[in-house]
């Protein structure tokens, strides 16, 4: 383009809904629905999946709710999704199977599952706040209730140092004997965690060699549960986290630390450094920094704070995915989902903690999650609790949600090409993408200071299409009519006559069975005058 100046966007730097869109970091997005962040900086439409056959209880009402989802690894290493519905436990094996026809669980109780044991003794245990635990064992999963010697009211279990630990929403931390997960020895195997302080214990998670204990208003850590004599040798320390959680299922271990929805409605991170010196354990200060600054306005506006206990999270391929209920419609299921890419960070102005890249999944409303690694391929499943339906999701080779289109859209935050103080004329836009005979809907616009800010969808509309027969390919072999090579890659030039101080671009696709990548934008412009 001769000597025209240009601005280039090839690194898309996460969603921001909480900042002035005219002062955001170049490459940030004011909307991101269903695009993942590629390692090299581009955007890639998320994968989809299909519903598993039938509901767990195929004879029940089609909308009969389910109350859990987890993965059970049998002694022979076979993997089975498990859930509970109609006071029974079901496992998935080319269809849902009853794990015990005579099992009679308390109705409508959420179960939180935890794997424990080795080899032939491997089992998964479930806690539901009742006076029993559910235990599933065997290569053909069989469910039983464990009632003898069990602490009453356990809501969560966590395997740590060859013991199961359990909490009951109060101040007591319970634990089993080593490698004896049915033996809780309730008279001696318990520790009071700051009784009467910081509210009840809501969650447990492991980080490094330590067990973290989340109360409603504080976070504690047990650093030495491997020592043989509990109570006598164990130390419980209060971390410098300023707040805990009310959302048990939001607390998840990630590559950067433990992330959680805090009681004050932020997504926070805790990862203190634990050292041992002069006979004492010491905590290096990490606090509980906020890592949701970029989406905090959304959390404030949309999160139903009366239903935080229903929030659910999962970690999948370095994504922290959290779903929760919104305030706008009184729903009884999670209807909003955000994801955080824990491999990518921005350093925002006046924010001490680097912020990860956030985005939003739409058409993705799940109450429970489970991961499975069958055939060495990690898979993610989501359960719609109200309807009883379980879906595979985020499968990169499937480009629909159970036959429905994945509606993707990304909108740049306003970009001050060449500095915001000068009015520019946008001459040409080069757009680079990856479509494989599919379309990307494009909208370009400009904004001049002092004028009304354009709304979403306003501007110059274009359709970007690439065909593999026209694109550069790696390899030229043909099998039948199929070309062997990479997916089509190309750039297209669009002439414009847009004038303003800022530029915006929208990208999207709303067709089923189509997959799009957005790689780069180059905007050529001329300076016209001072604003």
Per-residue pLDDT of 163-188, as tens digits, reads: 999 999 999 999 999 999 999 998 89
Helix (H) or strand (E) holding 297: helix 296-302
Least confident of 105-109, 165-169, 307-311, 331-335: 331-335
For 271-295, what is the mean pLDDT? 82
Instruction: Determine contact, residues 528/6, Cβ cutoff 8 Å.
Output: no
Burial class (CB in 10 A: 0-12, 13-18, 19+), 342: buried
pLDDT greater than 50 at residue 523: yes
Least confident of 142-146, 280-284, 320-324, 474-478: 474-478
DSSP letter for 31, please: E
- What's 375-441 look like in SS3? HHCCEEEEEECCCCEEEEECECCCCCECCECCCEEEEECCECCCCCCEEEEEEEEEEEEECCCCEEE
CATH entry, 6-47+409-530, from 3.40.50, 2.40.128, 1.20.1530, 2.60.120: 2.60.120
Indicate the domain borders of the chain: 6-47+409-530
Q: How far apart are CA 47 and CA 393, in angstroms?
A: 7
For 40-57, what is the mean pLDDT? 90
For 474-482, what is the mean pLDDT? 36
Q: What is the pLDDT of residue 60?
A: 60
Q: What is the pLDDT of residue 278?
A: 67
For 264-272, what is the mean pLDDT? 94
Q: What is the pLDDT of residue 497?
A: 86
Share of the chain above pLDDT 90, in %: 66
476 pLDDT band, cuts 50/70/90, is very low
pLDDT greater than 70 at residue 448: yes
Q: What is the pLDDT of residue 385?
A: 87
Give strand ranges (E) for 168-278.
172-175, 190-192, 201-207, 210-215, 219-222, 237-238, 252-254, 257-261, 267-270, 273-277
Q: What is the pLDDT of residue 350?
A: 83
pLDDT greater than 50 at residue 200: yes
Share of the chain above pLDDT 70, in %: 92
Q: How far apart are CA 152 and CA 117, in angstroms?
A: 22
358 Cβ contact list (under 8 Å, min separation 6): 14, 15, 16, 32, 292, 294, 295, 338, 339, 340, 341
pLDDT tens across 51-104, in order? 998 778 766 656 689 999 999 999 999 999 999 998 999 999 989 999 999 999
For 148-175, what is the mean pLDDT? 95
Calculate the average pLDDT of the chain: 88
Burial class (CB in 10 A: 0-12, 13-18, 19+), 421: exposed
pTM above 0.95, yes or no: no
Q: How far apart are the first and last CA of the chain?
A: 25
pLDDT greater than 80 at residue 417: yes
> Which residue did the predictor score with more confidence, 436 or 12?
12
Instruction: Determine contact, residues 30/5, Cβ cutoff 8 Å.
Output: no
pLDDT greater than 70 at residue 14: yes
Instruction: Determine contact, residues 246/259, Cβ cutoff 8 Å.
Output: no
In angstroms, what CA-CA distances link 58 with 52, 97, 313, 507? 12, 9, 27, 41
> Which residue did the predictor score with more confidence, 20 or 397?
397
Q: What is the pLDDT of residue 485?
A: 38
For 308-323, what is the mean pLDDT? 96
Instruction: Determine contact, residues 65/364, Cβ cutoff 8 Å.
Output: no
pLDDT greater than 60 at residue 480: no
Q: What is the pLDDT of residue 63?
A: 64
408 pLDDT band, cuts 50/70/90, is very high
């Amino acid at each position: 383009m001769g000597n025209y100046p240009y601005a280039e966007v090839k690194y898309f730097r996460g969603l921001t809904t909480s900042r002035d869109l005219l002062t955001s970091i170049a490459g940030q997005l004011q909307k991101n629905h269903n695009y993942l962040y590629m390692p090299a900086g581009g955007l890639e439409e998320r994968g989809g999946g299909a519903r598993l056959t039938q509901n767990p209880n195929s004879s029940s009402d089609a909308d009969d709710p389910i109350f859990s989802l987890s993965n059970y690894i049998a002694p022979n290493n076979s993997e089975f999704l498990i859930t509970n519905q109609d006071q029974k436990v079901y496992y998935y094996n080319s269809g849902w199977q009853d794990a015990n026809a005579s099992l009679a669980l308390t109705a409508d109780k959420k179960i939180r599952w935890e794997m424990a044991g080795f080899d032939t003794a491997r089992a998964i245990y479930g806690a539901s706040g009742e006076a029993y635990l559910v235990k599933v064992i065997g290569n053909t999963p069989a469910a039983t209730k464990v009632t003898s010697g069990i602490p009453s009211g356990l809501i969560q279990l966590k395997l740590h140092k060859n013991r199961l630990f359990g909490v009951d929403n109060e101040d007591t931390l319970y634990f089993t004997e080593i490698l004896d997960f049915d033996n809780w020895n309730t008279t001696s195997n318990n520790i009071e965690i700051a009784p009467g302080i910081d509210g009840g214990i809501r969650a447990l998670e492991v980080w490094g060699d330590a067990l973290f204990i989340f109360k409603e208003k504080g976070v504690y850590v047990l650093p030495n549960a491997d020592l043989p004599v509990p109570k006598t040798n164990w130390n419980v320390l209060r971390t410098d986290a300023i707040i805990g959680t009310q959302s048990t299922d939001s607390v998840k271990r990630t590559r950067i630390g433990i992330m959680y929805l805090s009681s004050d409605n932020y997504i926070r991170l805790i990862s203190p450094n634990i050292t041992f010196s002069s006979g004492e354990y010491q905590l290096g200060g990490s606090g509980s920094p906020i890592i949701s600054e970029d989406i905090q306005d959304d959390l404030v506006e949309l999160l139903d704070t009366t239903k935080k206990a229903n929030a659910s999270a999962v970690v999948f391929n370095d994504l922290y995915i959290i779903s929760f209920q919104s305030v706008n419609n009184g729903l009884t299921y999670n209807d909003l989902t955000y994801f955080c890419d824990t491999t990518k960070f921005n350093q925002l102005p006046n924010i001490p903690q680097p912020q990860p890249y956030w985005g939003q999944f739409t058409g993705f409303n799940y109450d429970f999650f489970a991961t499975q690694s069958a055939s060495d391929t990690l898979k993610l499943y989501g359960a719609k609790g109200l309807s009883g339906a379980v879906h595979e999701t985020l499968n990169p080779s499937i480009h629909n949600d159970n036959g429905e289109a994945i509606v993707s859209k990304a909108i740049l935050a306003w970009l001050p090409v060449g500095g915001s103080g000068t009015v520019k004329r946008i001459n040409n836009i080069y757009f680079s993408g990856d479509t494989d005979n599919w379309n990307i809907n494009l909208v370009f616009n400009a904004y001049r200071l002092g004028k009304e800010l354009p709304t979403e969808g306003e501007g110059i509309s274009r359709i970007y299409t690439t065909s593999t027969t026209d694109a550069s390919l790696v390899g030229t072999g043909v099998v039948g009519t199929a070309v062997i090579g990479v997916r089509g890659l190309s750039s297209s030039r669009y002439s414009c006559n847009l004038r303003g101080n800022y530029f915006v671009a929208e990208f999207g696709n709303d067709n089923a069975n189509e997959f799009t990548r957005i790689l780069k934008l180059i905007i050529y412009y001329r300076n016209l005058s001072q604003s």
